[in-house]
Chain A
């Protein structure tokens, strides 16, 4: 049994809400850069860029965009047994120095993914700031990491599944009951 936390419309509404807030906080749009964490964070990041571009009345391509895979920076590689992750692209095709980077992911839980993502970004240079935007905050943090931009909070230790139109058929967030 699963329960729908966000349906198709609510999903996109929350993405729009995040885009608006990021736009409000980044009037100096030239300094803004968006980085999505593989995989779902990349899809969300692209949508957020499209939202910001509309609000700022600029082209999407004017907002620097990167993708990031945290596999090589994980703190639990020893526990994987024989199921090593397939590593996706990390591409930061712009100079990260002095940028205000907003990191995008779908679900925030222990905070360990974000910890790894911060380390990856630091290896590319010294951004002016890094903020975090997530669609769902699942609670149960193990590290002192909090989102700056949040869709909804849904405290749960049960697995939360995010499906996006880009990879699946629908935009939906569900939780196992």
Chain B
């Protein structure tokens, strides 16, 4: 199909056609889940290495299941028990994995651009599973697909992202993908958590959540990263809860079929109230299921690029 790159580093550099091609490819993978044999031999004999420099359960497991359902061999490298603690550099780790004939390296790193460094230096396909505050492209894609699946379109939809936009790579990937597909994106949160100049990306900013919620077709709630509370970006968790927690009360003025999303892990009672998280408008669990299908589609679409470039 049309992904012209061997790697998936971010959604910023994909165009509308690429994104549409990915969206169109997801359904056949999702339909595998309903069979008794949930596997296809597409990536048989390929090796997928999952190299995570930051903690994660959901994304790591999702990639692992996606790769296994395509019959690839999967190796997990938790960095805290690997040679990285002995001081090995990122590129050297990558080269070592490539020498072991890794066909795909799925990397999460606290520094923005780390996957790009690997992509430039290795022949393996690199998939960014989250780098710093930069991007989390597969999360962006699965959010995009979930909205597309539920609303049957993206153009003209009003999508609201709530919370810590500044530190959120999920928000950035969402903004890139949604605006390219013609959705109208708005963000809402405390001014200290909204990056300066975000309007330049074609995004509307609301500091008042009630006003923002009214118009939204989709509300995607981001996790408040409690570990950042040290930086004093908002006065107190209590104040955040008062102003920006999505509650049943706040949803009263929203559209009846508003879609409630959260990339997880949720802090129930902080950015989202429990009853909203469990309401029929919430598609949080569907996001998780779609995440596997979307990652399978990405693995499939990047598949052929290695053929003539890789060392075998």
A72, B1: Cβ atoms closer than 8 Å: no
A82, B35: Cβ atoms closer than 8 Å: no
Residue A105 at the B interface, CB < 8 A? Answer: no
Complex Cα distance A89/B28, Å? 6
Complex Cα distance A80/B42, Å? 13
Residue A123 at the B interface, CB < 8 A? Answer: yes
Which A residue's beta carbon lies closest to that of B5? Answer: A82
Residue A174 at the B interface, CB < 8 A? Answer: no
Residue B279 at the A interface, CB < 8 A? Answer: no
Residue B307 at the A interface, CB < 8 A? Answer: yes
Residue A79 at the B interface, CB < 8 A? Answer: yes
Give the chain B neighbours of A119 by CB distance below 8 A.
Answer: 41
Complex Cα distance A97/B301, Å? 32
Residue B305 at the A interface, CB < 8 A? Answer: yes
Q: A69-B28, A90-B28 are in contact. Are A84 and B1 (CB under 8 A)?
A: yes
Residue A78 at the B interface, CB < 8 A? Answer: yes
- Give the number of A-B contacts (CB < 8 Å): 58
The residue that A82 contacts in the complex, of B4, B25, B70, with Cβ under 8 A, is: B4
A91, B37: Cβ atoms closer than 8 Å: no
Residue B275 at the A interface, CB < 8 A? Answer: no
Residue of A72, A81, A88, A119 contacting most chain B CB atoms (<10 Å): A72
Q: How large is the interface on B (under 10, 10 to 19, 20 to 34, 35 or more residues)?
A: 20 to 34
Complex Cα distance A120/B151, Å? 31
Q: A72-B300, A123-B37 are in contact. Are A91 and B31 (CB under 8 A)?
A: yes
Which B residue's beta carbon lies closest to that of A84? Answer: B1
Residue A83 at the B interface, CB < 8 A? Answer: yes
> Within the complex, what minimum Cβ distance (angstroms) separates A128 from chain B?
17
A73, B40: Cβ atoms closer than 8 Å: yes
Residue B39 at the A interface, CB < 8 A? Answer: yes
Residue A85 at the B interface, CB < 8 A? Answer: yes
B42, A73: Cβ atoms closer than 8 Å: yes
Complex Cα distance A119/B37, Å? 11
Which A residue's beta carbon lies closest to that of B21? Answer: A86
Q: A83-B1, A90-B31 are in contact. Are A72 and B41 (CB under 8 A)?
A: yes
A86, B305: Cβ atoms closer than 8 Å: no
> Within the complex, what minimum Cβ distance (angstroms) separates B141 from chain A?
16
6 new A-B contacts at CB < 8 Å, known A72-B40, A73-B42 = A82-B4, A84-B301, A84-B304, A90-B31, A91-B31, A123-B37
The 9 closest A-B pairs by CB, nearest first: A72-B40, A84-B1, A123-B37, A87-B28, A72-B42, A80-B304, A78-B307, A84-B301, A81-B304
- A-B contacts, 11 of them at CB < 8 A, read A77-B304, A82-B304, A84-B301, A85-B1, A86-B21, A88-B28, A89-B31, A123-B40, A124-B36, A124-B37, A125-B36
